[in-house]
Amino acid sequence: MESGLIVRSIRILLIILTAALVGWIFYGRSSPRPVQAAGVKPGKDRHDAPDFALKDAAGKVVHLSDYKGKVVLLDFWATWCGPCRIEIPWFTEMQRKYKDEGFAVLGVSMDDEGWEVVKPFLSQAGVNYRVVIGNDETAQMYGGVDALPTTFLIDRDGKIAAVHIALTDKKDFEDGVEQLLEEANKVADNRVR
Amino acid sequence: MASNSCWKRLTKWLIIACVSWAVLAQATAHLSVGAISKVAGKRNAAIEARIPVAIQPGFHVNSNTPSDDYLIPLKLKWTAPGALEAGQIAYPKPSQEKYDFAEKPLSVFTGNFDLVAHFKVAPTAPAGPGVATGKLTYQACNSTTCFPPKTIDINVPYTVQ
C-alpha cells in the first residue's frame, strides 16, 4: 500500500519534471530569444556580477573585481559569430569615447581555439580594449551564455544593470552606458554636497 | 514481491521520462538528423546513404563552403566507417541569404535537406551487418544571434551481402 503511494508520487514528480523540461527546451533553450531593449534596471533590482579570473592576451590574469568603481561593458563573443563582429567596432568606439569617464569594455571570447584565432582578429579589427578567453565555468556563472553576443552592463558597484542577448542597437548600449555614468556622477555630486 | 513490482514500475517511468527528454531535445535542437535507412551491397559495390537533416525554422547553419573564412562550415567526417570505404559526401546546393549582421549574402543551409554519403564496400569486408560512424559538425545562427559549434554522431547501418 505504502509502496504504491511512493510509486504514484514518483510518477507525478516525473510528469512534472518532464513538463518542466519540455517548457525549458521549447521556451528557455532553443527558441530564438527576442532582442532585449536597453532596460537599465533600477539599483535595487541589480545583482552582483560574478567575479572571475581569466587571462588576457599578455597572459595576465584579469579579475572582474579589478574594475570595481568603473562602469563595465562585459561582452561575451566569438570570432565565428557574425552579429558579434558588428558590435565590436561600436565597443571600440565607446571605449575611446568614455574611457576617461570611468568606463571600460571587457571582452570575453568564447572561441574554443583560444588566442590562435582571437589574437589575429583583435589585431585586424583594431580592438582597443582588454579581451580575455572565457570558459564554460565563466559562462555558467553568467547564466549559461549559450547565445552570442551576450552583453552585460555593470555599474560602478559591480552590479549587473542590463543584459543584452543578441545583436542590439548601438544606441541602446550608449544610452545604457551614459545612464550608468550619469548615475555615478550624481552619487559623487551628492557626496560633495 | 510488492517491492519488486514497485521498482519495475519506477524503472519503466524513468525510461519514459528519459526517452521523452531525449526525443524533445533532438526535435528542438537547431539541427536534427532523421532516421538513416539501412544500406546494403556486395563486396566492391558502390553504395550511398542518405542522411536527412532538418534545421529549426528561423535558423540557418553555414554551408560546407561558407562565404567567409571565419565562419564554421557544416562538415561530415567518417571516424569509423567499418567495412565500408568512405567516398565523397554530396552536400546540397547552399542558398545565399542576406542577414543584417553581414555585408554580403551568406552561403547557408536552411529547412530540410539530405546529405548523401558515398561508400564502397571493402573488397575484404565480412558478410553481415555493421555500422559506419561519423561526426557532423555545424554552427547555427538566426538573424541576430549565433550558437556555439556542435558535433553530433552519425550512424549509418549497413549490411555486406
pLDDT at A154: 98
For A163-179, what is the mean pLDDT?
96
Provide the number of structural domains found in chain B: 1
Best of B61, B101, B107 to substitute, by most chain A Cβ atoms within 10 angstroms, is B101
% residues pLDDT > 90 (chain B): 81
Residue of A nearest to B1 (CA): A3
Residue of B nearest to A24 (CA): B25
Residue B14 has pLDDT above 70, yes or no: no
Tell me the average pLDDT of chain A: 86
State the DSSP H helix or E strand holding residue A188, giving kind and residue range, or none if neither: helix A170-192
pLDDT at A27: 38
Report CB contact under 8 Å: B101, A85. Answer: yes
CA atoms within 13 A on the CB side of A24: 8
Q: How far is B117 from chain A (nearest CA, A)?
A: 27
Best of B10, B28, B145, B151 to substitute, by most chain A Cβ atoms within 10 angstroms, is B145
pLDDT at A39: 83
| Cis peptide bond N-terminal to B123, omega within 30 | no
**Strand arrangement, sheet containing B106-109:** B95-97, B106-109, B60-62, B140-141
| Residue B99 to residue B105: CA distance in whole angstroms | 7
Q: For residue range A82-110, what is the model confidence (pLDDT) as tens digits?
A: 999 999 999 999 999 999 999 999 999 99
Return the CATH number of A37-192, one of 3.90.1150.10, 3.40.50.300, 3.30.390.50, 3.40.30.10.
Answer: 3.40.30.10
pLDDT at A38: 53
Q: Residue B29: is it exposed, middle or buried by C-beta count within 10 angstroms (0-12/13-18/19+)?
A: buried
Strands A103-109 and A130-133 turn out to be parallel
Residue A122 has pLDDT above 80, yes or no: yes
Residues whose CB is less than 8 angstroms from the CB of residue B120 and which lie 6 or more positions away in sequence, other chains included: B44, B45, B46, B47, B84, B85, B87
Q: Which residues of B touch A140 (CB under 8 A)?
A: none
Q: For residue range A41-89, what is the model confidence (pLDDT) as tens digits?
A: 999 999 999 999 999 999 999 999 999 999 999 999 999 999 999 999 9
Closest CA to B106 of B151, B61, B57: B61
Pairs of CB atoms within 8 A across A/B: 90
Residue B115 has pLDDT above 70, yes or no: yes
Is residue B63 one of the residues assigned to a domain? Answer: yes
Q: Please say whether the beta carbons of A113 and A144 come within 8 A.
A: no
Q: How far is A115 from chain B (nearest CA, A)?
A: 14
pTM comes to 0.81
Q: For residue range B63-93, what is the model confidence (pLDDT) as tens digits?
A: 999 999 999 999 999 999 999 999 999 999 9
Return the higher-pLDDT residue of A152 and A11.
Answer: A152
Residue of A nearest to B140 (CA): A81
Q: Check the CA dihedral A76-A78-A79-A83 and report its sign.
A: negative
pLDDT at A193: 54
Residues 140-159 of A with CB under 8 A from B: 146-149
pLDDT at A6: 64
CATH number reported for the structural domain that contains residue B51 in this entry: 2.60.40.1250
pLDDT at B126: 97
pLDDT at A17: 60
pLDDT at A36: 38
pLDDT at A32: 36
Q: Please say whether the beta carbons of A162 and A29 come within 8 A.
A: no
What is the residue extent of each domain of chain A? Answer: 1-31, 37-192
Tell me the average pLDDT of chain B: 90
Report CB contact under 8 Å: A10, B145. Answer: no
Cell numbers representing residue B84 in the block: 565500408
Is residue B133 one of the residues assigned to a domain? Answer: yes
Residue B117 has pLDDT above 80, yes or no: yes
Domain range for residue B52?
31-160
Q: How far is B92 from chain A (nearest CA, A)?
A: 22
Cell numbers representing residue A169 in the block: 542597437
Return the higher-pLDDT residue of A77 and A186.
Answer: A77
For A141-152, what is the mean pLDDT?
97
Is residue B21 one of the residues assigned to a domain? Answer: no
% residues pLDDT > 90 (chain A): 74
Q: Which residues of B touch A165 (CB under 8 A)?
A: 145
Phi, psi of B102 (to 5 degrees): -130, 140
Report CB contact under 8 Å: B56, A30. Answer: yes
Of B6, B13, B20, nearest to A3 by CB-CB distance is B6
Of B13, B25, B100, nearest to A25 by CB-CB distance is B25
Report CB contact under 8 Å: B17, A110. Answer: no
Is residue B1 one of the residues assigned to a domain? Answer: no
Q: Which residues of B touch A3 (CB under 8 A)?
A: 2-3, 6
Report CB contact under 8 Å: B144, A25. Answer: no
Q: How far is A69 from chain B (nearest CA, A)?
A: 31
Q: For residue range A10-33, what is the model confidence (pLDDT) as tens digits?
A: 676 666 666 555 444 443 443 334
